[in-house]
Chain A
């Protein structure tokens, strides 16, 4: 597989993952390009890997977490920005619930949010998440468990659930 063929096949999924991770169109493009540039540099190794897409996904996740580490948490968006998802088509309660969930997710540590994205968006197993993030499976499970508990325990989320 050539690099161009890989990008043609995996570029869009990578970009979507980057967008869900960052919530920002420009950062997502930059993140996807950064991961692909890393892959291009080591293409022979990537192409020879058992699962090149998983290899590059790991590069993307690492780049994302590295960027997040170097940024102030105060930069984390707490409100929808203009490039975020289009909620306008959803009816009232669903909008409120999703917005609430989005704000709660924004309050999580980057690593915890990343675990949730990989598990509930990318549908990766804990083993695959541990490989993508370079941590143990038990760490993935613990992080996911704590993050979910944090989301569930939030009073405002309980209100949203009661109103469903």
Chain B
């Protein structure tokens, strides 16, 4: 026997269901999501391999001795702590080339281009206003990320609103420069940022900025290219 409240619920839900969208293209959309996840996983795997390689390289290089004698540059004992930048004289500037940091250190899952930015789940022009703890890590997943809040100057796609927080490789400490594949940044830095939801879902759910040129220093020309590509 059904109470009036229960009957109201049945009627309401049935009525809502009747307004549901048609499942046209559901298979195609699903397979696009599957391919997208594979790309994200590949990018992450490649990125983490790059970080490990750089860390191991730093440990085994002559710079290790210098780092041991120089506490501020010591290798962190906490695996979740920020990874020390690749040291030593003659180290390749990770920002060589226009794709910031994407050149020497890492192999990218997808080549940067303005058109490829349109394939990212979100893209915006923003200015860093705060840097805090990462928001996308799941328990058991340790990665050197920071949660970076931006004042959004322009959304290219995937979002709305005046501010947004995304996870990025942690900013470099001291005068060093990030060994990861996003530009060096701090409060006030203006960046063009694009990326993906780390674990899938809506564009800004556990959003993470891609490296390999997909997040880069702001220039008016590049911003215009992104705007054209995502229009």
List the interface of chain A (C-beta within 8 A of B).
3-4, 7-8, 11-12, 14-20, 23, 25, 27-30, 32-34, 36-37, 40-41, 63, 67, 70-71, 84-87, 90, 97-98, 101-102, 105, 116-117, 120-121, 148, 151-152, 157, 161, 164
Contacts and interface: CB of A to CB of B under 8 A. Distances in A.
Contacts of A63: 201
A40 B30 contact: yes
B89 interface: no
Contacts of A12: 20, 22-23
Interface of B: 3-6, 8-23, 26-27, 29-31, 33-34, 37, 200-202, 205-206
A28 B20 CA distance: 8
A101 B205 contact: no
Nearest to B22: A12
A120 B17 contact: no
Contacts of A164: 4
A119 to B, nearest CB: 8
A15 B21 contact: yes
A63 B33 CA distance: 14
B205 A37 contact: no
A33 B26 contact: yes
Given A37-B37, A101-B9, A84 B16 contact: yes
A37 B17 CA distance: 22
B33 A37 contact: yes
28 contacts: A12-B23, A14-B23, A16-B17, A17-B17, A28-B21, A30-B201, A32-B23, A33-B26, A34-B200, A36-B26, A37-B37, A40-B30, A40-B34, A67-B205, A84-B19, A85-B19, A90-B15, A97-B8, A98-B11, A98-B15, A101-B8, A101-B9, A101-B12, A120-B6, A121-B9, A148-B5, A151-B9, A152-B3
B20 A15 contact: yes
Nearest to B17: A16
Given A11-B26, A121-B10, A37 B200 contact: yes
Residue from A16, A67, A164 with most neighbouring chain B CB atoms (10 Å):
A16
Given A7-B26, A70-B206, 5 more contacts: A7-B23, A37-B200, A101-B12, A121-B16, A164-B4
Contact of A120 (B9, B21, B34, B205): B9
B19 A86 contact: yes
Contacts of B29: 29, 33
A36 B34 CA distance: 9
A85 B27 contact: no
A16 to B, nearest CB: 4
A14 to B, nearest CB: 8
A26 B69 CA distance: 56
Nearest to A31: B201
Nearest to A19: B20
Nearest to B2: A120
